[in-house]
Amino acid sequence: MSSSVITESVIAPACKKEDLLLDSTLRPRQLKEYIGQQKIKESLEIIMEAAKNRGESLEHMLFHGPAGLGKTTLAHILSYEMQANIKVTSGPILERTGDLASLLTNLNDGDILFIDEIHRLNRTVEEALYPAMEDFRLDIVVGKGPSAQVLELNLPRFTLIGATTRIGLLTNPLRSRFGGLFRLNLYSPAEIQTIVNRSAKILNLTIEPNGACAIAGCSRRNPRIANRLLKRVRDFAQVKGDGIINEKMAKKAFSMLEIDNSGLEKIDRDILKVIVEKFGGGPIGVQTLAAAIGEEEDTLVDVYEPYLMELGLIARTPRGRVVTANGYQHLGLKHIAKKI
């Protein structure tokens, strides 16, 4: 095993392909296998039952919340439960109205179109979606200049499922066209433990309850991170132990990965340190902060910030991010309150 494999970030790993494979292997197929998010599941059950009774397709739905909480999984579950086909795409991939048209015209009644990162759709494609969502109609401009014509295409009664980590970036016209908006919340440690045990069973691993508990404790209450940690601890237990996943193995693996007891990685601690050391504890604008830590703004906002805020280590103020008293304490530093 190379050391780069073991020290690579668990929260935002570079290897997307391996991640996708792990996600799809461990993805629950039915609603009853989907752990937690009780309120959402209850609503979806009612929506599906009602649509089935009326013999109609599902209404358009939007799932929002941090990455890895199960938005894509829910879209696949809906397609499975409704016995509908699902086509998967994402906001940045749909560059032209023609891309959208070719997807939509190949759907059948009741099919699902899943658009991940829907907040990244460009304006033209987004505007073409409005009549598609509302009236199942697509207006396509054919030709250029004075001879250009608008072609009206009738579409099947499809269901659009959108997913976004940044609900605030969605325009009002788009948001208002969804029949159901669902916010996914971070999971409880007990729910994550159940997810870890389920994943261990699928991957045929031996895991002790204290091992599942240790992994859950460092998972940032996020199923995708929990599954990744499980895989790292499995590798570690295979190489350094007898293959059994327990608390001792988990702790050793986490110390090698530089993950602390709160589940924070080195990069999280670096974010806190940079705000404190370079910007006097803040407030600091998100763009400047992203540049200072050498990360994309989106990664900072979508991946790192939600959990740092959840733990109360940083806070958002109108003038930017600040490290809180708890954040200073986490770094072992004394907090001197200042007026902002």
Looking at the chain, how many residues does it have?
340
**Cα 330 to chain centroid, rounded:** 26
Between residue 213 and residue 242, which ones bind ligand ADP under the rule CB under 6 A? 223-224, 227
Count the helices and strands in the chain (H runs, E runs): 16, 9
Min dist. Cβ of residue 10 to ligand ADP (A): 13
Q: Is 36 in the site for ligand ADP (CB under 6 A)?
A: yes
Min dist. Cβ of residue 82 to ligand ADP (A): 17
186 or 323: whose CB is closer to ligand ADP?
186
Min dist. Cβ of residue 331 to ligand ADP (A): 29
CA distance readout (Å), 203 to 20, 30, 263: 15, 18, 23
22 or 275: whose CB is closer to ligand ADP?
22
CA distance readout (Å), 87 to 75, 94, 105, 195: 10, 13, 12, 26
Q: Which of 10, 11, 34, 40 binds ligand ADP (CB under 6 A)?
A: 34
**Cα 84 to chain centroid, rounded:** 23
Between residue 191 and residue 210, which ones bind ligand ADP under the rule CB under 6 A? 195
Q: Which of 67, 82, 275, 300 binds ligand ADP (CB under 6 A)?
A: 67
Contact region with ligand ADP (CB under 6 A), list: 61-69, 259-267, 287-295, 311-319: 61-69
**Residues 246 and 208: beta-carbon distance below 8 Å:** yes
Nearest to 252 by CA among 221, 216, 307, 215: 215
Active-site annotation, residues: 71-72, 116, 165, 224
Between residue 149 and residue 188, which ones bind ligand ADP under the rule CB under 6 A? 163
Cα 239 from Cα 277, distance rounded (Å): 39
Min dist. Cβ of residue 274 to ligand ADP (A): 26
